[in-house]
Amino acid sequence: MQKGAQFMLREEGLLKRHPANPIIKPADFPGTEAIFNCGQTMYGHKTILLVSIVFRNGAVETRVAESRDGLHFTIADKSFFDFEGTPFAPYAGHQIDSRVTKIGDTYYIVFPGGTGPLGPVGILLRTKDFKTCEPMEVISLPPNRVPCLFPEKIGGQYVRVDRPGHSPAGPAEIWISYSPDLLHWGRHRLLTRSFARWQSTKLGPSPPIRTAEGWLMLIHGARATCAGNVYSLGAILLDLEDPSRIIGRTRSWILTPDEPYEFQGRTPNVVFTCGCIPDYAEDRLRVYYGAADTCIGLASCKLSELVGLCREEA
């Protein structure tokens, strides 16, 4: 029996929690209030997480966490983003929910900058070594909760998916758009609206990954309850040649709050991911997820089984 299993109310979804969860928590790092929603990727043989950290003094930073075993992480002693003296400084105060996509030999990062009345904008940055980071441009108008980039051009164009909107009540939509240079975006199209009860209030994407059968994109969804929104995870499968065409989806959630560290925290009843890491040789998908906007958990499944579930429930 895995740690915490005695508290579970229902059978797990396809994603199975690691028995060491939560693998990163504020108690491990003095002076912090929360360490949560992380961008994720591989850099050589290291797992890299861009963790969102809220300090007790109110500061919010993004820091690099690295690990050789994917379980025990070392967090850098300074913020990864530095916008001082740049045109992007006004939007840099709330560094959370970073998404990471590797294109060629460069890692591109997008996070929702700005906390103004219109909501966040998407700020694009890039790095090649996770030591230094270059801010590039604001690539989306408010309100936009982070554009997520595909890892290669499709039909000669860069592609991204977005979750527009800032209202607590929605909209529950994902959009798709195209660009010749990652900076100028157009051909905006609605990709999908909510298609299941667990995502009836909100619906959002993460960076897609390539599989033999299509682009696999983990999604988060929220539904309104008398206790507030409940966030769960699912997936969508997109056509490799035409990513505006959905060829599969999980109509059931694959991870939903069911452990104390997911029920209790700064934002209760939340499991939320900013991406996933495919281990193709092992047919495994790792998902590092924020729990209750307070700590980080790890869940995994067979990559082929998730693709199969998308096909089965389409």
Express each pLDDT in 279-294 by its tens digit.
Answer: 999 999 999 999 999 9
Express each pLDDT in 144-199 by its tens digit.
Answer: 988 999 999 999 999 999 999 866 666 799 999 999 999 999 999 999 999 999 99
- Token code pair at residue 293: 């906007």
Task: State the average pLDDT over residues 119-148.
Answer: 95
d(CA 46, CA 26): 22
Q: What does the mean pLDDT of the chain come to?
A: 94
CATH numbers and ranges of domains, the chain: 13-313 (2.115.10.20)
d(CA 138, CA 50): 19
Task: State the average pLDDT over residues 96-111.
Answer: 97
Please give the pLDDT value at position 3: 47
Please give the pLDDT value at position 4: 45
What pTM value is reported for the model? 0.96
Task: State the average pLDDT over residues 53-67.
Answer: 96
* Residue 91 CB partners (closer than 8 Å, separation 6+): 83, 113, 114, 120, 121, 123, 138
Please give the pLDDT value at position 171: 74
